[in-house]
Amino acid sequence: MMVKTKTKVKSPPTELPTSLKAPKNIPIESMLELAHKGLTDEQVASIIGCDRSNVSRRLQPYRDKLAVLDKHKQYRADILCLKGMSMLENITPAKLKKASARDLTTNYGILFDKERLERGQATSHVAYMDITKGLQEIEKEIQAIEGVVVD
């Protein structure tokens, strides 16, 4: 009497051809940059060379932030100004006793400079008199050099 044993036949691996595989390790920054330009997930996937569902899944955590990013950039100077005002309002005699006044005023100064930078204004103060003195000294040097050249 012969006993039949079942042997399992292994099926060949179902691997996609290399040309159809999605690239690995696509930086999220690449996807975010394309999405921020207004491209759809399908367009981003086509450019990067992966499936739309991969793009959608990877961008999902950033969707809310992308929606408000432009507004934030547009009003960033105002936001910094409001934060600075809030900091100034919070500098009270009681807080000055607890916290370092240097820390509070330094933070305010940083926000003030950032706000001016966002508005396209100078972030440092230049003394006009120092510039004028410097120009006068340079003019004297030029005259002295010209005097030597003429002689």
User: For residue 18, what pLDDT band results from cuts at 50, 70 and 90?
Assistant: very low
Cα 71 from Cα 63, distance rounded (Å): 14
Q: What is the mean pLDDT of residues 128-137?
A: 73
Q: What is the mean pLDDT of residues 44-64?
A: 91
pLDDT of 40 strictly over 90: yes
The per-residue pLDDT of the chain, averaged, comes to 78
Q: Which pTM was predicted?
A: 0.39
Domain segments of the chain as ranges: 23-71, 75-127
pLDDT of 129 strictly over 70: no
Q: Alpha-carbon torsion 10, 12, 16, 18, what sign?
A: positive
- Residue 49 — left, alpha, or beta (φ > 0 → left; ψ -120 to 50 → alpha)? left
User: Taking Cα atoms as reference points, which of 31, 29, 67 lies closest to residue 52?
Assistant: 31
The percent of residues above 70 in pLDDT, for the chain, comes to 76
Q: Can you list the alpha helix ranges (DSSP code H) found in 49-100? A: 52-59, 63-74, 76-89, 93-98
CB-based contact 42:35 (threshold 8 Å): no
Q: What are the residues whose beta carbons fall under 8 Å from the beta carbon of 95, sequence distance 6 or more?
A: 104
Q: What is the pLDDT of residue 92?
A: 81
Q: What is the mean pLDDT of residues 34-62?
A: 91
Q: What is the pLDDT of residue 93?
A: 82
CB-based contact 34:43 (threshold 8 Å): yes
